């Protein structure tokens, strides 16, 4: 049902206009010969479009509706012949329909998908000249940074919403059951149909590929840093392999630290290890559990403090490091706490399996 009454935003806007008018009435600007306010006339001629308008105008020809037999989403032009979207948008489709802002339809072939990062690449060589590539941001997104989301929510072509980066280094669910690390959180409105679209900084660069939304001022996107690693491989080979350590971990909370007689809560406790996985025989998992204040807590096992010198106090920190700094086959140096003493061990990383099992997400 459509609500035709005044919205809260409309009421606030009306109030702001009324306040502006009231303040203008107290100003000292001299009227022009025709009775108008000279300063207001000057402002009207010198004020250009808002930064959001500029981003939208520069990018909208490069943002496309992506439609399959199962639904639709958004995509954006990555290079002269490829469009980026979410893996969950293309699903099992091998070909998709693409629509530009002026309503023209094109066809594209899905040349690569990575469900672990929820990214997909579509080849579409005959797009119009106005559909120029958008660039991925080279610097990490920062909390408080203003952003613009462009997409097709509920098939409403070329919609734009604005907000800020609300959080970084988030961990969000992937279609495979693993987690997508280094994700960007925003309060820009994102709804079904926005998936795969660009979340853009005011300089016109893509800081994230929109992945999910619809919550109360909470939406997420795949970071430009992760996209920069995955997309070239999808174009070249059609797939991407993620590093895998084969451990199930728990953040060392004050309660876990107390249960394990640790001096302070830091690092990640190795709860279990995948049989025959990369860490099997190198790391020690928990071997018991203890109930503290009604909560069952793992006891025993190594505590991971750092990977290659990078601290791992959170699961997000470990996930982001593995995703952005390593590849399958790399050997990483782990600083661990074992039997109360710090030591260093090495693990040769494997490739992430098709699906996680028994919680082995890292």
Please identify every residue annotated as catalytic: 88, 118, 195
Q: What are phi and psi of 180, to 5 degrees?
A: -95, 115
Cα–Cα–Cα angle for 100, 206, 126, nearest 5°?
Answer: 30
DSSP state of 218: -
Report yes or no: 112 and 234 within 8 Å, Cβ to Cβ.
yes
Tokens 């919609």 found at = 159
Cα dihedral 46, 51, 52, 57, rounded to 10, equals: 80
3-state secondary structure of 133: coil
Cα–Cα–Cα angle for 136, 140, 146, nearest 5°?
Answer: 85
If residue 129 lies in a helix (H) or strand (E), which one and from where to where? none
Q: What are phi and psi of 45, to 5 degrees?
A: -90, -20
How far is 263 from 250, CA to CA, in rounded Å?
A: 17
């Amino acid at each position: 049902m459509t609500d035709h009454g005044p919205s809260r935003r409309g009421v606030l806007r009306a109030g702001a206009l009324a306040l502006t008018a009231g303040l203008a009435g107290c100003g000292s600007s001299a009227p022009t010969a025709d009775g108008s306010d000279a300063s207001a006339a000057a402002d009207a001629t010198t004020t250009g479009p808002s930064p959001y308008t500029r981003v939208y105008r520069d990018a909208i020809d490069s943002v496309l509706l992506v439609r399959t037999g199962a639904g639709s989403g958004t995509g954006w032009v990555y290079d002269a012949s490829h469009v980026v979207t979410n893996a969950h948008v293309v699903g099992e489709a091998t070909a998709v329909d693409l629509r530009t802002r002026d309503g023209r339809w094109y066809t594209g072939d899905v040349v690569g998908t990575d469900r672990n990062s929820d990214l997909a690449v579509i080849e579409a060589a005959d797009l119009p000249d106005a559909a120029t590539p958008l660039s991925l941001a080279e610097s990490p997104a920062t909390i408080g940074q203003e952003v613009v989301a462009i997409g097709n929510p509920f098939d409403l072509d070329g919609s734009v919403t604005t907000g800020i980066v609300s959080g970084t280094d988030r961990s969000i669910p992937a279609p495979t059951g693993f987690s997508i690390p280094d994700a960007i959180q925003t309060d820009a409105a994102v709804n079904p149909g926005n998936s795969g679209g660009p979340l853009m900084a005011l300089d016109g660069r893509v800081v994230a590929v929109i992945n999910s939304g619809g919550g109360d001022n909470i939406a997420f996107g795949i970071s430009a840093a992760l996209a920069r690693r995955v997309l070239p491989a999808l174009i070249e080979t059609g797939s991407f392999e993620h590093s895998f350590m084969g451990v199930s971990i728990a953040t060392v909370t004050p309660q876990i630290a107390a249960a394990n007689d640790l001096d302070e809560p830091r690092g990640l406790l190795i709860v279990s290890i995948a049989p025959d996985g990369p860490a099997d025989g190198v790391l020690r998992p928990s071997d018991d559990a203890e109930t503290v204040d009604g909560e069952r807590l793992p006891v025993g096992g190594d505590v991971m403090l750092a990977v290659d010198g990078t601290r791992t106090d959170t699961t997000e920190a470990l996930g982001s490091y593995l995703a952005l700094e390593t590849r399958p086959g790399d050997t990483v140096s782990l600083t661990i706490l074992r039997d109360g003493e710090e030591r260093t061990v090495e693990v040769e990383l494997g490739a992430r399996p098709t699906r996680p099992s028994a919680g082995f997400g890292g």
